[in-house]
Amino acid sequence: MATLEAEALRKSFGGIEAVRGVSFAVQPGEMLALIGPNGAGKSTCFNMLNGQLRPDAGRVRLAGRDITGLAPRQVWRLGVGRTFQVTATFGSMTVLENVQMALLSHHRRLGGLWTPVRRMDRAPAEALLARLGMAEQAGRPCGILAYGDLKRVELAVALANDPRLLLMDEPTAGMAPPERAALMALTASLARERNIAVLFTEHDMDVVFSHASRVLVLDRGTLIAEGAPAEVRANPRVRQVYLGSGAMQGGY
Amino acid sequence: METLVLQALSGLASASSLFLVASGLTVIFGVSRIVNFAHGSFYMLGAYLAWTLVTSLPRGHLGFWGGVIGAALGVGLVGLVVEVLLLRRIYRAPELFQLLATFGVVLIVQDLALLAWGAQDLLGPRAPGLRGSTGILGMRFPDYELFLIVVGPVVLGLLLLLFHRTRWGTLVRAATADREMAAALGVNQRLLFTSVFVLGSLLAGLGGALQVPRESVNLHMDLSIIVQAFVVVVVGGLGSLTGAALAALLIGELHAFGILVLPKITLVLVFLVMAVVLVLRPHGLLGRPQDRAQPATGGAEPVIGPAPRPLLRLGAAALLAAVVLPPFAGDYALSVLTEIAILILFAASLHLIMGPGGMASFGHAAYFGMGAYGAALAAKWLAAPMELGLAVAPLAAGLFGLVFGWFCVRLSGVYSAMLTLAFAQITWSVAFQWVELTGGDNGILGVWPAAWATPKLVYYYLTLTLCIGATLLLRRVIHAPFGYALRAQRDSALRAEAIGIDAFRTRWLAFALAAVMAGLAGGLFAYAKGSVFPTFLDIPRSVDALLMVLLGGVQTLSGPIIGAIAYTGLQEQLVRLTDLWRLLLGGVIVALVLFFPQGLAGAARARWETRHGDA
Amino acid sequence: MTGWVIGRRQVLAGAGLALAAPTIGRAQPDLIRIGEINSYTAQPAFLQPYRHGWTLALEQVNAAGGIDGRKLETLHRDDAGKPEDAVRLAGELVNAEKVALLAGGYLSNVGLAISDYANQNRMLYVASEPLTDALVWSRGNRYTYRLRASTYMQSAMLVKEAAKLPARRWATVAPNYEYGQSAVRWFKELLTRARPDVSFVAEQFPALGRIDAGATVQALAAANPEAIFNVTFAADLTNFVRQGATRGLFERRRVVSLLTGEPEYLEPLQDEAPEDWIVTGYPWDQVNTPDHAAFREAYRRRWNDHPRLGSVVGYDTVMAIAAMLRKTSAVESEAMVDAMSGLRFGSVFGPVEFRAIDHQSTMGAFVGRTVLRNGRGTMADWHYADGKDYLPPDEVVRTLRPQS
C-alpha cells in the first residue's frame, strides 16, 4: 500500500488557483521529488499534505487513512515528519534539546511539570544526532547555528517520531554543493534502512536527478510529468517549462 | 428625538477629542512598535503649556490659537528630546522594554508638572468666538463642541493626505506594514522613527491643548487619558488611523447613549467594548495581523540552562539570609520582607507567561486581586479560617485564569495584552461596584491571619515558605517538558505544531498556572495587609508587575526575582526619603533602562558570559 | 566575582541598613511623634494646603512649649492613593519609627485601611479627612476617631435647605464610587423623609476624574428635573459646570451641591463659578470670628497665602491631638483613646466635641449660596451648620455602629 496518496487536491487563494487537481502517491522507501518553477504550487501542495493548509477539494490519505483536514500536530502523531523551506527550530534551545522535544512529544511526555528535560530522552536524541553527524553540535543553541546545520537539525527532529513519511521542503537550500549531496545521500540511506517514504521539493536539479527515485513536475498548479528522473529530464514539456529558468542545468 | 440627536452630537465631540490623542499613539506604535505609556503625559503637558501660553499671550484669536499651536509644537519638541536621548538607544531591547522607559518618563513628568504648575486645577479661558452655544432642535449646544466635532475629521483627513501624498508618508506606511522590508529598502530608519515620534507627540500635545477651553487642566489628565487612548488604538487596530477614528466614534457614541440606560456603566464601558471587539476581531476593527514580534536583538532568546554554580551559591546565600536574619529584624522590616516575598512570586508568575510563554499581560493584577478577594470573601461570608482562605485564593484565581485565558491566549502581542487588561478592568469594576458583596471601594476589612500566624515573624516564614516554594516550583516547571513546550511555541509556532505541540493548549494552561500562582500571592497579601481593596486588581498593580519583570530582565529566570526586590526596595526607600519620590524613581528607571537594556539580571548574565566565554 | 553580584549585595545591604536603622532607639523622651499618612502625590490640590495647616499648628503648639514641655514631631508619609501602601506605612511608623499615634487620611478606603490596622494593633488613629460614614459607623472601632463632618452630615445639611425649595422633580449627579453613591443615597432618603412629594427622575454616575461632561449634562437635561443634587468635585465639577452653563442646564433650575463652596473647588472655576447654587463649603474671607481671624492671619503670615478648607482640617487635626495629649494621663494608646472620647477643643470653626457614642467630631460646615464677586466665586448668605445638629439620634447611631 502506498504510504501517502494525494487525490485531486485543489486550493485557491483569493480566486487564483494555486493547485488544480493534483494526484500522486509515495511508496515506502521511495525518494519522490516534487519539482517545478517558482509559483508552480509546490509549497501549497506540501502544506496541504501535513494539514497546514486545508484543501478546497480532494483527499489526502496516509497508509489508507483519510487525514484531510487534520491539524499538523495530529498528522505528525500519525507518523509524518516535516522540514521547512525556511528552517523552523527552537532558537532558545540547544540542538540536543530540539531533538529531545520531538522525542518527548512523540512519547507524550510534554505535560511533565517536574523532571527536568535534561534528564529525559537524552540518549536517543544523542544517537539520532550522531547518525546525522551532528554529535559535536549537540550542545550549541540553535539560535547561533549555521544554516546548513539547522537543516540537519530539522531532519533529526523530523525523524524523531519514527516517521513513515518525511516531507522535506527544499532540504538543501542554502547549503554548499558537497553538503547537499551528503545530506541527500544520508536521507536516502535512512529512507531505505527504515522504509520511510520521502517526498521532497528541490530547486537544485543535480540533487533531484542524482537522489530521487521518481520525479513529479508541477506547473501552474497542474502535474505535467511524472516518472523516473531520466524520463522526466527528457520530457519536452518539462524542458519547455524550465527553458527560461535554465534550472535544468543544475544550480540556480 | 431631540434628546437623542444632541446626545449623538455630544458623543461625536468626545469621539473627536479621543481620536486626537489616539491618532498620535497609533502612528507611533505602527512604526516603532513602542507601547508609549508617556503619551498621556504629553497630552497633559500640551494642556499645561497651552494654559501658560494662552493666559500670558494677549487675549484674542491670535493669542489663543497661537497658544494652542505653540503648545503642540512645544510638546513635539519634548517628544524629540525623549526620542533622541532615551528611546533611540533602546529600540533593539526585548519587546515591551521601551514601555519601562516611557513609564519612567510618566513619573518624571508628574512631579515636574506639579513643581511647575502647582497642585491646584487650572482653568483656561474659553476659545474666542466659540464661547457661546448654537440652537439645535430647540436645545443649546456649545459652539466649541461643534468645533471639536469638525477638528477630528479634519486632522484625520490631513494625516491621511500626509501619509498617502508624500514620500515621507509612504515610508511611514511601508514601515507600519513591514519593518524589515522598509529597512531593506534603505529607509533611514533613525530619521523616520524620530520624525514619527515627534509627530505623534505633537498630536498628543494638540489634543491636550484643545481640551483647555473644555476642561480644567490638572495633574490627573495623563493617567485618565492614556488607558482610554490605548483602548481606542487597539479597538481600531494597531497602526490604523481610520480604525482609531472608527473606534473613537464607537466608544464616544456608546458612552453617550450608554449612560442614558445604565448610568453606572461609565467605569467599565470602554473595557467591555474592547473585550467584545477583540474576542470577535482579534486584530481590532481595521488592524492587520502583526508580524510576529521577534526580539529585535538580532538573535533568538537565550538558552535556559541549569543555573551556574556562583548563581546557585548566591541564591542559596540569599535564601539562607532570608531565613536566618529576620528574627533579628524589627516588625516593620518583617512586613517589608513579607511583601517582597509576595511580590517575587507575583512577578515570577507573570514572568512565566511573558518570558517562556512569549505573551504580554497588562492585566495580571486580576489574578493577584482575585486571590486576595477569594480569601477575603471566604473569610467574610463563610468565616473561613486563614488556612482555607489561602487554599481558596489560588483556586479562585486559577479558575478565572482558565476562563479569561481561553480568550486571551488566542490573540497575539499587544492585542492579547490589552484583552488581559480588559478582563482585569471588568473584574475590577465588579469588585468596585458590587458593594453588597465586596464592599465596593471601601474594601473588605478584618482579613487577619489565624492566631498562630499573627506574629509578624511567623507570618513572614509562612509567606517565605509558600512564595519561595512556589517560585522554585515555577522554575522547575520552566526546566521541565511543559516549560520547554511553552518556549517551543514561542520560538516557532510552526515547528511546535509540526512536532505535535498544541500551542493554544500549552499557552492556555501556562496562563492558568500563572494565575494560580498570582492568586496565591494575592491571598498571602490579603492576610498580610488585613484588608482587601479594588486597588489590588487595578491597573497600577498590573503595571508594577510588568515593571518588575522588565526591570529584572524578561529573558532570565532570576529576572523577576531581582526585579521585584529592586523595584519594591527602591520605591520603599524613596517614598520615605522624599516627597519627590516619583521624580527620583522615574529618573532611576530611565537610567537603568539606558544602562541595562536587557534588564538587571540580563545585564549580569551578559557580563558573566563575556568573562567566562559563551557556552 | 561578576559585577552584578556586587550590585545585588549592595541592594540587599542598602535595604537591610535602611530597614534596620530607624529601629535603633530614636524615640526620645522629650518628643511625641505623630505618624501622618496621606495621599500627597495622588491628591495634591487638597493636601498641600492641608500640610501647610498641619505644619502651622505644629509650630504653634511647639512654640507655646509643646505638651508639658514635650515637643510634637510629625513623620509624614505618602500612600500614593493605595490603601495597601497605607497599611505598610502605618506599620513602618508604628514599628520602626515608634510613633505614639496615627493620623491623616484623605481617601475613604485609605482611612478605613488605617483604621482597621489601628484596631488590630491597638493604636490611636485620628482620621482627619476621609468622609465615609463607615469609618465611624458600620466599621467603627475603639481606636478610630474622625474630625471632619461626614458624608451623612454634609448631605443632611443640604437636605435641610433642599427641603425648603419648591422643586419636586430631582436629578442627581455623583462620581461613581462610595462617596458619591452614599451621598446620593442619604440625600434621597433624607429628602424623601422631609418631603414625601419629591421624586427622583434621573441619576448620573460619571467615573471619578473622567466625566464625559457633555453627555452627562445632556442626559440630565433630557429628564427635565426642577432641581439637581451635585456631588462631583474637582476637575469633574469644572467640566460639568462648563458644559452645563453653555448648554443651559442650570437655567431655571436650582442646584444643591456638596463641597462646592470649598475654596479648593470653587476657586479654580474663577469667573465661571456657578451662581446661586446651595452648597456646603468654607467662605474663608468672610468668617470673622476671633478664632478664625487669628488663624487666617497666622496662616497668611506663615505661607503668604489664604487658607483652604484643607488648611483648616490639617490645622485642627493637630489641635485636636494636642488637646487630647493635654488631657491624657499617659502617652499610651489606651489612655489616649480614652482621652479622645468626649474630647472638647476649640476648633477654628468653634467648639467641637469628639462624640463618645460614635467617635465622630461635631465639626460642622458652612452652608450658603454661591455668588460671583469681583470675578470669582464665593459664598453668600451662609451660616455655620454645627455638626452636632446633623447627626442621627443616639438610638439610631447605636444601630448603625457595632456595639461591643
CB atoms within 10 A of CB C237: 26
Which residues of chain A are within 8 Å of residue B299 when distances are taken between CB atoms? 91, 143-144
C215: nearest CB among B111, B123, B255? B255
Question: In the sheet that C376-385 helps form, which strands lie side by side, from edge to edge?
Answer: C199-204, C169-173, C227-230, C254-261, C278-281, C365-373, C376-385
| A180 lies in the same domain as A103 | no
Are the CB atoms for B475 and B513 separated by under 8 Å? no
Backbone angles phi, psi at C74, to 5 degrees: -120, 140
pLDDT of the residue at B166: 92
Q: Assign C250 a pLDDT band (cuts: 50, 70, 90).
A: very high
Q: Assign B265 a pLDDT band (cuts: 50, 70, 90).
A: confident
Are the CB atoms for B420 and B352 separated by under 8 Å? no
C40: nearest CB among B145, B576, B579? B579
H or E, element range at C334: helix C333-340
The last residue of a domain, from among B168, B195, B220: B220
In order of B291, B326, B386, C319, the CA distances from B457 in angstroms are: 50, 7, 16, 37
| Distance of alpha carbon C25 from the chain centroid | 34
The DSSP code for A60 is: E
Instruction: Identify the residue whose cell numbers are 499615634.
Output: C101
The last residue of a domain, from among B204, B220, B236: B220
| A85 lies in the same domain as A199 | yes
Q: Return the amino acid letter for A65.
A: R
What is the grid cell recorded at A240? 519547455
| A60 lies in the same domain as A161 | yes
| A75 lies in the same domain as A183 | yes
| C297 lies in the same domain as C269 | no
Are the CB atoms for B464 and B454 separated by under 8 Å? no
Q: Identify which of B424, B247, B230, B223 has the alpha carbon closest to the alpha carbon of residue C208.
A: B223
Burial of C363 (0-12, 13-18, 19+ CB in 10 A): buried
B297 touches chain A (CB under 8 A): no
pLDDT of the residue at C145: 98
**Interface-testing mutation among C12, C52, C109, with chain B (most B C-beta atoms within 10 A):** C109
| A74 lies in the same domain as A182 | yes
Range of the domain at C90: 25-150+289-363
The last residue of a domain, from among A102, A120, A144: A144
Question: Is residue C18 over pLDDT 60?
Answer: no
Cα gap A180→A171, rounded to integer Å: 8
User: Is B427 within a domain?
Assistant: yes
Are the CB atoms for C157 and C190 separated by under 8 Å? no
pLDDT of the residue at B185: 67
pLDDT of the residue at B253: 95
Cα gap B258→B252, rounded to integer Å: 10
Work out how many domains chain B is built from and give that number: 2
What is the grid cell recorded at C234? 474637582
| Minimal C-alpha gap between A92 and chain B (Å) | 4
Which chains, if any, share at least 3 CB pairs under 8 A with chain B?
A, C
H or E, element range at A6: strand A4-13
The last residue of a domain, from among B194, B220, B246: B220
Q: Identify which of B126, B130, B110 has the alpha carbon closest to the alpha carbon of residue B218.
A: B110
pLDDT of the residue at B556: 87
Instruction: Identify the residue whose cell numbers are 507611533.
Output: B28
H or E, element range at A21: strand A16-26
**CB pair distance less than 8 Å for C215 and B14:** yes
User: Is B564 within a domain?
Assistant: no
Cα gap B294→B412, rounded to integer Å: 12
CATH number at residue A153: 3.40.50.300
The last residue of a domain, from among A109, A144, A179: A144
What is the grid cell recorded at C15? 535595604
In order of B556, B579, C312, the CA distances from C291 in angstroms are: 64, 32, 12
- For the segment B130-159, the average pLDDT, to the nearest whole number, is 93
Between B106 and B267, residue with greater pLDDT: B106
Cα Rg of chain A, angstroms: 18
DSSP C21-86: GGGSS---TTEEEEEEEE-TTT-HHHHHHHHHHHHHHHHHHHHTTTBTTBEEEEEEEE-TT-HHHH
Task: Look at residue C229 and give its three-state secondary structure.
Answer: strand
Cα gap B497→A208, rounded to integer Å: 28
Backbone angles phi, psi at A46, to 5 degrees: -55, -45
In order of A75, A100, A120, B489, C18, the CA distances from A107 in angstroms are: 15, 10, 11, 18, 54
Q: What percent of chain C has pLDDT over 90?
A: 87
DSSP C170-209: EEEE--SSHHHHHHHHHHHHHHHHH-TT-EEEEEE-PPTT
Q: Assign B613 a pLDDT band (cuts: 50, 70, 90).
A: low
| A85 lies in the same domain as A98 | no
What is the grid cell recorded at A145? 547555528
Are the CB atoms for B197 and B33 separated by under 8 Å? no
Question: Is residue B566 over pLDDT 50?
Answer: yes
Nearest-5° angle of CA A136, CA A141, CA A143? 130
| C121 lies in the same domain as C139 | yes
| A83 lies in the same domain as A202 | yes
Question: Is residue C23 over pLDDT 70?
Answer: no
- For the segment C131-135, the average pLDDT, to the nearest whole number, is 94
C19: nearest CB among B7, B333, B582? B333
Are the CB atoms for C168 and C191 separated by under 8 Å? no
pLDDT of the residue at C17: 40
Task: Look at residue B130 and give its three-state secondary structure.
Answer: coil
| C270 lies in the same domain as C134 | no
What is the grid cell recorded at B603? 545585564
A117: nearest CB among B480, B500, B506? B480
Which residues of chain B are within 8 Å of residue A116 when distances are taken between CB atoms? 306, 476, 479-480
In order of B381, C114, C333, C339, the CA distances from C119 in angstroms are: 21, 9, 11, 16
Range of the domain at A38: 4-89+147-249
- For the segment B276-286, the average pLDDT, to the nearest whole number, is 94
Cα gap B24→B20, rounded to integer Å: 7
| C95 lies in the same domain as C144 | yes
User: Is C8 within a domain?
Assistant: no
| Chain A residue set in contact with B, beta carbons under 8 Å | 50, 52, 71-73, 76-77, 82, 84, 88-94, 97, 100-102, 104-106, 109-118, 120, 139, 141-144, 157, 160-161
| A127 lies in the same domain as A225 | no
The DSSP code for B238 is: T
**Interface-testing mutation among A95, A113, A122, with chain B (most B C-beta atoms within 10 A):** A113
| A52 lies in the same domain as A76 | yes
Sign of CA dihedral B537, B538, B539, B543: negative
User: Is B318 within a domain?
Assistant: yes
Q: Assign C45 a pLDDT band (cuts: 50, 70, 90).
A: confident
Which residues have C-beta within 8 Å of that of residue C104, sequence separation ≥ 6? C36, C37, C38, C76, C114, C127, C128, C129, C317
pLDDT of the residue at B299: 46
| B372 lies in the same domain as B520 | yes
- For the segment C100-129, the average pLDDT, to the nearest whole number, is 95
H or E, element range at A177: helix A177-194
Strands (DSSP E) contained in B339-405 are none
Question: Is residue B470 over pLDDT 90?
Answer: yes
Are the CB atoms for B496 and B408 separated by under 8 Å? no
Q: What percent of chain B has pLDDT over 90?
A: 73
Work out how many domains chain C is built from and give that number: 2
Question: Is residue C134 over pLDDT 90?
Answer: yes
Its pTM stands at 0.91
Residues B124-134 pLDDT 10s: 999 999 988 99
User: Is B323 within a domain?
Assistant: yes
Nearest-5° angle of CA B439, CA B441, CA B443? 50
Residues A144-156 pLDDT 10s: 888 888 999 999 9
User: Is C17 within a domain?
Assistant: no
When the pLDDT of each residue in chain B is averaged and rounded to a whole number, the result is 91
CB atoms within 10 A of CB B30: 24
**The three-state (H, E, C) secondary structure of B314-331, written as one string:** HHHHHHHHHHHCHHHCCH
Are the CB atoms for B31 and B173 separated by under 8 Å? no
Cα gap A233→A247, rounded to integer Å: 12
Cα gap B460→C149, rounded to integer Å: 39
pLDDT of the residue at A19: 93
Residues C203-246 pLDDT 10s: 999 998 889 999 999 999 999 999 999 999 999 999 999 999 99
The residues in C 13-72 lying below 8 A from B, measured between CB atoms, are: 14-16, 18-20, 22-23, 40-41, 44-45, 47-48
Nearest-5° angle of CA C271, CA C274, CA C276? 125
- For the segment C117-123, the average pLDDT, to the nearest whole number, is 95
| A27 lies in the same domain as A53 | yes
| C89 lies in the same domain as C119 | yes
Cα gap C343→C339, rounded to integer Å: 6
Cα Rg of chain C, angstroms: 22
| C251 lies in the same domain as C384 | yes
User: Is B12 within a domain?
Assistant: no
**Interface-testing mutation among B108, B215, B442, with chain C (most C C-beta atoms within 10 A):** B442
**CB pair distance less than 8 Å for B480 and A113:** yes
User: Is C3 within a domain?
Assistant: no
pLDDT of the residue at C19: 44
Cα gap A191→A193, rounded to integer Å: 6
Cα gap B510→B397, rounded to integer Å: 13
The answer, yes or no, to whether A and C have at least 3 beta-carbon pairs within 8 Å is no
Work out how many domains chain A is built from and give that number: 2
Residues B179-192 pLDDT 10s: 776 676 667 788 89
Instruction: Identify the residue whose cell numbers are 517562556.
Output: B356
CATH number at residue C164: 3.40.50.2300
User: Is C300 within a domain?
Assistant: yes
In order of A154, A159, B354, B505, the CA distances from A110 in angstroms are: 19, 18, 20, 12
| A115 lies in the same domain as A232 | no
| C100 lies in the same domain as C185 | no
pLDDT of the residue at B355: 92
Cα gap A217→A40, rounded to integer Å: 9
| C275 lies in the same domain as C386 | yes
User: Is B441 within a domain?
Assistant: yes
Range of the domain at B131: 24-220
| Minimal C-alpha gap between B173 and chain C (Å) | 33
- For the segment B349-356, the average pLDDT, to the nearest whole number, is 95
Question: Is residue C186 over pLDDT 90?
Answer: yes
Which residues of chain B are within 8 Å of residue A88 when distances are taken between CB atoms? 492, 494-495, 498
| C175 lies in the same domain as C218 | yes
Long-range contacts of A224-227 (CB under 8 A, 24+ apart): A226/A24
When the pLDDT of each residue in chain C is averaged and rounded to a whole number, the result is 91
What ipTM was predicted for this assembly?
0.93
| C88 lies in the same domain as C202 | no
Cα gap B240→B233, rounded to integer Å: 8
DSSP B544-593: HHHHHHHHH-TTSTTHHHHHHHHHHHHHHHHHHH-TTHHHHHHHHHHHHH
Instruction: Identify the residue whose cell numbers are 539570609.
Output: B321
Which residue numbers in chain A have pLDDT < 70?
A: 243-252
Q: Identify which of B525, B464, B528, B469 has the alpha carbon closest to the alpha carbon of residue B331.
A: B528
pLDDT of the residue at B291: 55
Q: Assign C15 a pLDDT band (cuts: 50, 70, 90).
A: very low
| A27 lies in the same domain as A105 | no
Sign of CA dihedral C146, C149, C150, C152: positive
Could you tell me which chain A residue has the CA closest to the CA of B477? A113
Q: Assign B390 a pLDDT band (cuts: 50, 70, 90).
A: very high
**CB pair distance less than 8 Å for C113 and B433:** no
| C299 lies in the same domain as C225 | no
